[in-house]
Amino acid sequence: MKQHHYVKSNNTLAYEKALIADLAKYSDPNVLGQGNEARVKIVSTEIIARYKALSDKEIAEAKGANAEKRQRSRAIGIAKNYLNYAATADEKERVRADIGRSTH
């Protein structure tokens, strides 16, 4: 997981790309070998939490009155990807509403 690279560079899209790659990697319960399924679940949960935090942060910034169109577009893209890759059924409605509010 490349969180420290994101913190240093503040490259949101690169961090999102790394999160998506990690989600794909840890979708296989045997990625760490036999008997480590619980560890994979823990890591996968952490990746999803980081992706949620990234999506929420970007949407919150896009809702601001001074947000640029480019920033809003990036935030909407990240939120839509989060919906497709990691959001639970309960979160999907909230994220969709946040996307709608960020376009105004």
Tell me: the pLDDT tens digits for 14-23?
899 989 998 8
User: What pLDDT, in 10s, does the model give residues 36-84?
Assistant: 788 888 998 999 999 999 999 999 999 888 889 999 999 999 999 999 8
Q: What is the pLDDT of residues 82-103, one digit of tens each?
A: 998 888 888 898 899 888 887 6
* Predicted TM-score of the model (pTM): 0.82
The identity of residue 36, as a single letter, is N
Measured in residues, the chain has a length of 104
Distance (Å, whole) CA 20 – CA 87 = 12
Q: Are 63 and 45 in contact (CB under 8 A)?
A: no
Q: Is the dihedral of CA 63, 88, 38, 40 positive or negative?
A: negative
At 63, list the tokens.
């809702």
